[in-house]
Amino acid sequence: MKTNQPVTPVNENSALQTLFYEQLQDIYWAEKDLVKNLKKLAGAATSEELKTAFESHRTETEGQVKRLEEVFVAVGEKAKAKKCVAMAGLAEEADELIKDTEKGSMVRDVALIAGAQKVEHYEIASYGTLAALAGILGHKEAQKLLDQTLEEEKKADTVLSGIAEGFVNASALQEEK
């Protein structure tokens, strides 16, 4: 979605406002769930670099939960979480990746990065849409906040790619079945 839409006065009763509010509840649930899951991913990672990356994104995610609470205030809605089926599925998939890979192996890290990047891409798509909707609905402050998180998610994704390409993929290549 493009964000350069004309600014229209906020219409609290529009169907689009309802959709926007529901999408906010979805990502609010997803971020809260992710705080727990990033702890699990950090615990399961082999390399110190990946553990640190997961831990620092966990702290960042706690900030994103708070920022979403500011977004709810900015748009005049109550902060509510609604189960995000997609994020729940991605968390389940990450559990399977942990089960299916050997503890202490670099293949484990390759798998965890793959799972975490699916999460980041889901979030990038979600925040891109939310920021665009905030813009079109005339919620300027909310749009700014959502854009801020969008940038953080893109950076988190880049960090994960850097770790994979830096040494994880190459080390995993040396491991036997």
Question: What are the percentages of helix, strand and coil residues in the chain, rounded to 5?
Answer: 80, 0, 20
**Is residue 101 part of the contact set for Fe ion (CB under 5 A)?**
no
Q: For the purposes of burial, counting CB atoms within 10 Å of the CB of 15, is it exposed (0-12), middle (13-18) or buried (19 or more)?
A: exposed
Nearer to Fe ion, 37 or 64 (CB): 64
Residue nearer to Fe ion on the CB measure, 17 or 61: 61
Minimum distance of Fe ion from residue 64's CB (angstroms): 5
Among 160, 141, 146, CA closest to 28: 146
Shortest spacing between CB 20 and Fe ion, in angstroms: 18
Q: Tell me the number of residues near Fe ion by CB under 5 A.
A: 3
Q: Which of residues 22-81 bind Fe ion (CB under 5 A)?
A: 61, 64
User: What is the C-alpha to C-alpha distance for residues 23 and 133, in angstroms, rounded to an integer?
Assistant: 10
Nearer to Fe ion, 64 or 143 (CB): 64
Residue nearest to Fe ion (CB): 64
- Alpha helices, H only, 45-83: 48-74
Applying CB under 5 A, which residues contact Fe ion? 61, 64, 123
